Structure 1
Amino acid sequence: MSSGNQSVSNVTSELQYQGVLERLLFSMLITVPCCVFLFINGTMLFVLRSKPVFRETCRYVLLYNLLVADTVQLALSQTLYVVAACRVMLSYPVCGVLTFLAGLTFVISPLTLVVMSLERYVAVCYPLRHATIITVRNTGLAIVLVWAFSSLNIIIRVVLLLQFPFEDLHSLQMKDFCSDVAMRLGSGSADYDKGFTCLVFVSASVVIVSTYVSVTLAARSASTDKASTQKARNTLLLHLVQLGLSLSSTMYIPLLTVLYRITTRIIFVRIQNVLYIFIIIFPRCLSSFIYGIRDQSIRPVLMHHLCCQLKVGLVRPGGHPELFMHL
């Protein structure tokens, strides 16, 4: 009997060890690329503020705003992931601040893509009026309106949250891991979030598709610059892809809900980590790759800063920098 209990105890300890080891492995596999993407995004943000031509060109100003939102969103998502992986239970106020800030930046991305699409539309369809309509001042005003609209959404969510009877709770300490779903404490909040998300993404899709169709029709005109029009069409198509990737992140929770019901816990955790990489992380880092590599003005500056950082990291104190000149 004692031998049987010892055997069961050993198996249980081994399973617990495997669970901790697998969780640690997944955390490393997710955290390392996330840190790399955050580094690339940070370098891209530095590049966009390093030269006057980037600070004074409207499309680069909009790109900077998009990157700020994506970088903050990525950092917050990874923070919540690490907190959950470490089995840390936050309080409702702390979780509310993190999720609401993530919700703020989540809405910024599609709205900024809409403004960027409209800028390309004006550049192709009204080239003579582009310089007077798309100014740095008007671009700054558009960015302020985007942040104001997103902030209004957060204010409404806070008002709906305050209607929840927190006094009935024994403690403000959460019994589940911090997430956006965990902060939907009432049916009103859940319904509002679904309706608002649908409104934003449907409206953004309509605007981007409309500008793409308008630019395509303008390409048939003999008076337009074919090369410029084709480049604008490709840019708008990329905006539509980015919007689709951002929209895919809204399917993360529903997919997990379905998988939780039809799979075992260990398989569910593994699939959850894979979905987190492809649905949450990748869409937040594509802007740097798309614009940094595609844009002829940004690419050399971005590669210069990335390569310089690599050389500095490779050269050790007391080493010989000339050995790394060709890396």
Structure 2
Amino acid sequence: MADNNSLVGGQPLLRKLNYRVILVQVLVTLFLYINFLLITTFFMKHFFYTTMRYIFFANTLVSDCLILIFTNTLLIMSYFPFTIQTWLCLIIYIVLSLYTFVTPVTLTAMTLERFVAICMPLRHAELCSTRRALHCILIIHGLSSIPCIVFLSVFFASATHSFYSQDRICSVEAFTIHRWQGHLRSAISQFYFSIMFITIVISYIKIMKVAKAASGENKKSTWKGLRTVILHAFQLLLCLIQLWCPVIEAAILQIDFMLYIDVRYFNYITFILVPRCLSPLIYGLRDDKFFLALKYYALCGLYKKKSYDFSS
């Protein structure tokens, strides 16, 4: 009994959890700082906020920031048991549910923009204008809200009025009253991600055909676009695996609580934090124009490069 207490209720477990929370805080703070710096750079140049691919990029940054802030809040509340009323938890759930889909749907839109730029260059200016980009942002949020609306409609039909005034530790599982609700959410999510993954694969195949036929500078630009699509596919794959995490964690919880804690921590780092740090890598550091602008503004204008036109 003494050994069990030391593992589950004693100080060693508390220190272990606290170390993990501190590590997550460091990572989240770092990613948020980088994202806010990228968002600031985006708004500093007219060229960025009038170009479709950079508008989509900024949309993923905002989405990722909201995901990081809210998931980190839930993490802290679960590690240091802090209860809130269900209606407030419901608001947090709506934001998380919406922006869990906004990022991958935007990734798919960014892939299609690269497809148009490489495979249909003569129509790129027409199809990828600033006005169309803003319309696409609205469509992205509309498509992303459908799973949340469906799931919440089922939840509202099942929950009693007293449920909303209860105090509880906020989690996604709090709104899954019946097991089939979890299956419904998973089915809708799998359908969405299957469509998005197929879209990215088809775009990859089309771009690859153009890359093989291109030459000179066009070939170099095309292969760079192809690598971007591959990174989008990898990022989307991590988001897809994230959907299976609650199912796996629920099964492990029935077997071993300590293993459940370890697996849940690993899933949070690998499938929530890591995909959110790939967006800055794909467009913030690999894109030459954005990287030079970021370097310029990050160093308060001390860095200048003659080959870069800051007036564009």
Same fold (TM over 0.5): yes
- Bigger Rg, which one: 1
What residue is the counterpart of 2:80 in the other structure? 86
The gaps in structure 1 that reach 5 residues or longer are 1-7, 309-327
Separation in 1, partners of 2:62, 2:207: 28
**2:18 equivalent to 1:24:** yes
CA RMSD of aligned residues (A): 2.4
Separation in 2, partners of 1:21, 1:213: 50
**2:266 equivalent to 1:274:** yes
Separation in 1, partners of 2:34, 2:164: 44
Separation in 1, partners of 2:164, 2:117: 58
Q: Contact 1:161–1:186 at 8 Å: present in 2 too?
A: no
Change (3 A) 1:254 1:170: closer
Equivalent in 236, 254, 258 of residue 229 of structure 2: 236
Equivalent in 126, 129, 132 of residue 132 of structure 1: 126
What residue is the counterpart of 1:113 in the other structure? 107
What residue is the counterpart of 1:255 in the other structure? 248
**2:279 equivalent to 1:287:** yes
What residue is the counterpart of 1:5 in the other structure? none
Residue 49 of structure 1 deviates from its aligned partner by 1.1
**2:30 equivalent to 1:49:** no
Change (3 A) 1:16 1:157: same
**2:208 equivalent to 1:219:** no
Residue 74 of structure 1 deviates from its aligned partner by 1.3
Separation in 2, partners of 1:259, 1:14: 16
The gaps in structure 2 that reach 5 residues or longer are 301-312
**2:88 equivalent to 1:97:** no
Q: Deviations along 1:3-33, whole A, 9 cap, x unmatched?
A: xxxxx7xx76995233332222221111111
What residue is the counterpart of 1:245 in the other structure? 238
Query: Normalising by structure 2, what TM-score?
Result: 0.87
**2:177 equivalent to 1:189:** no
Mean Cα displacement is larger for which, 295-304 or 44-53? 295-304
Q: How much identity, in percent, do the aligned residues show?
A: 26
Residue 247 of structure 1 deviates from its aligned partner by 1.2
Residue 36 of structure 1 deviates from its aligned partner by 1.0
Change (3 A) 1:13 1:274: closer
Q: Contact 2:147–2:185 at 8 Å: present in 1 too?
A: no
Residue 156 of structure 1 deviates from its aligned partner by 2.4
Residue 271 of structure 1 deviates from its aligned partner by 3.5
Mean Cα displacement is larger for which, 203-212 or 242-251? 242-251
Q: Contact 1:113–1:239 at 8 Å: present in 2 too?
A: yes
Residue 283 of structure 1 deviates from its aligned partner by 1.1
Q: Contact 1:160–1:188 at 8 Å: present in 2 too?
A: no
Q: Contact 2:108–2:200 at 8 Å: present in 1 too?
A: yes
Separation in 2, partners of 1:54, 1:288: 15
Residue 86 of structure 1 deviates from its aligned partner by 1.0
Separation in 1, partners of 2:109, 2:260: 38
Equivalent in 172, 175, 188 of residue 180 of structure 1: 172
Separation in 2, partners of 1:74, 1:34: 7
Separation in 1, partners of 2:198, 2:263: 32
Separation in 1, partners of 2:113, 2:213: 19
Separation in 2, partners of 1:273, 1:13: 17
Separation in 2, partners of 1:33, 1:160: 36
Q: Give the match's secondary structure for 1:119.
A: helix
What residue is the counterpart of 2:309 in the other structure? none
Separation in 1, partners of 2:238, 2:8: 39
What residue is the counterpart of 2:197 in the other structure? 205
Query: Normalising by structure 1, what TM-score?
Result: 0.83
Residue 148 of structure 1 deviates from its aligned partner by 1.4
Q: Contact 2:176–2:182 at 8 Å: present in 1 too?
A: yes
Q: Contact 1:161–1:185 at 8 Å: present in 2 too?
A: yes
Paired residues, number: 297
One-letter amino acid of the structure 2 residue matched with residue 69 of structure 1 = S
Separation in 1, partners of 2:75, 2:65: 15
What residue is the counterpart of 1:159 in the other structure? 153
What residue is the counterpart of 2:63 in the other structure? 69
Q: Give the match's secondary structure for 2:172.
A: coil
